[in-house]
Amino acid sequence: MLLYQDLLTGDELLSDSFPYKEIQNGMLWEVEGKWVVKGAVDVDIGANPSAEGGEEDDGVDDTAVKVVDIVDTFRLQEQPAFDKKTFLTYMKRYIKLLTPKLEPEAQELFKKHIEQATKFLLSKLSDLQFFVGESMRDDNSFVFAYYKEGATDPTFLYLASGLKEVKC
């Protein structure tokens, strides 16, 4: 199994069990999330509680909740949305922090294509949700989520250069 960690913080953000598609010259990874039910499972054994002297509700605490699989699996923490100015300030800082951690060849590709990827994200800014890894450090990579038109499940966007592949 492959895990993808935030290159800056070491937080686990993704694994190979969630297939991705490269977009924006490979600068962004697009991953489809799914709403799933987590917790208690209602099992119908075919018994009729009223015929057996039972009550309709046996006082079972139903702890089932609906979660997005990627957010739950990697314990992502939602952050407040950014306005344009704050987003651009974050991206400038992120680029400055990340660039020295990349190999020279990767640095060149990153510098060449990150502006286009930033413009792509900026075009979706009002629709994006912002997530960070569980450490919630201030030098983290963001994971962005949005709903494509007509979709009921979110699509996640990862800044690919900020991910480090780790074999488990």
The Cα–Cα gap between 96 and 108 comes to 13
pLDDT digits (tens, 9 = 90+) for 134-158: 998 878 899 999 999 999 999 999 9
2-34+70-167 is classed in which CATH architecture?
Answer: Beta Complex (2.170)
- Tens digits of per-residue pLDDT, 72-111? 999 999 999 999 999 999 999 999 999 999 999 999 999 9
For 130, other C-beta atoms within 10 Å of its C-beta total 18
Question: How far is Cα of residue 87 from the mean position of the Cα atoms in its chain?
Answer: 17
If you average pLDDT over every residue of the chain, what do you get? 90
Question: What are 5's strand-pairing partners?
Answer: 12, 164
Burial status of residue 145 (CB atoms within 10 A of its CB: 0-12, 13-18, 19 or more): buried
Which segment of 12-26, 29-43, 54-68 scores lowest on mean pLDDT? 54-68
